[in-house]
Amino acid sequence: MTTEPGSETTAPPARSKGLLWSVVLLALVAAGLLWGASALTWLGQRYRTPFGTEVTGGFTGEDLRPELVPMALAALAAVAAVLATGGVFRRVVGVLIAVAGGLLVWRAVELYTSGWFATGKPDDVPPGSTPIGELLSQPYGPLLMAAGALLLFVAGLLVAFRAGRMPAMGAKYSAPGAAKQESHDPDRQMWNDLDAGRDPTDDQDR
């Protein structure tokens, strides 16, 4: 049984598609975890107001770690970047994702080794209130941050080291006759490979 020329590029193996969508899922889940960590209360404190009543105020993850929301948005942007790129460009995106996830992992480890503290008072506490007792820490926010950071780091590593095995979304929908012919000019062939979503340094991709 013969195989039609170009069928490998128009119909990528199911395993390659699965790897790509696994990375997309990891990044989306990481974004959701980081967003959730920013919204949860990490520290709680009881206060006595100037009127003699007691209120409880809390510090959210966004208050203590302002980078959580931007990193969640960056994870969503990384999904679009992985789907839109291919070859060397996709590997670069993977390295950037892994670096961002690694930095968040380091920040999460730093939280558990040195603890997390808050200065000032929560916005929902009346001015002039005095704290009562000790700060009460809630572990769920930091745990979500650590889990999201780890998933983002793993997604970046998969993209950086397995980009050549992932199909390029643009190449999937191109007509068989639209594929560029190989050129004897190395520079032109390199740009043809990049445009097709292949890694010009990897003979297997070609």
Write the DSSP string, 153-201.
Answer: HHHHHHHHHHGGGSPPHHHHTS-GGGSPPP-SSHHHHHHHHHHTT--TT
Whether 4 is covered by a domain: the verdict is: no
Whether 130 is covered by a domain: the verdict is: yes
CA gap 86, 90 in Å, rounded = 5
Q: In this structure, what CATH number is given to the domain that contains residue 40?
A: 1.20.140
Tokens, residue 115: 């603890």
Whether 36 is covered by a domain: the verdict is: yes
Whether 176 is covered by a domain: the verdict is: no
CA gap 135, 147 in Å, rounded = 24
SS3 119: coil
Residue 164 has what pLDDT? 76
- Is the CA virtual torsion 171, 174, 180, 181 positive or negative? positive
Residue 6 has what pLDDT? 42
CA gap 138, 115 in Å, rounded = 12
Pairing of strands 41-48, 130-137: antiparallel
How far, in whole angstroms, is CA 149 from its chain's centroid?
Answer: 8
CA-derived radius of gyration, the chain? 24
Residue 7 has what pLDDT? 41
Tokens, residue 66: 């302002």
Residue 109 has what pLDDT? 86
Residue 32 has what pLDDT? 96
pTM tops 0.75: no
Whether 172 is covered by a domain: the verdict is: no
Number of domains forming the structure of the chain? 1
Whether 169 is covered by a domain: the verdict is: no
Strand partners, 58: 44
- Taking only the tens of pLDDT, the chain with its 206 residues reads 444 444 444 445 567 778 888 899 999 999 999 999 999 988 887 778 777 777 777 788 888 888 999 999 999 999 999 888 888 888 999 999 999 999 999 988 888 777 666 666 666 676 767 777 777 788 899 999 999 999 999 999 999 988 777 776 654 433 344 444 454 556 566 666 666 656 666 655 54
Domain span including residue 106: 13-164+181-195
Whether 90 is covered by a domain: the verdict is: yes
Whether 8 is covered by a domain: the verdict is: no
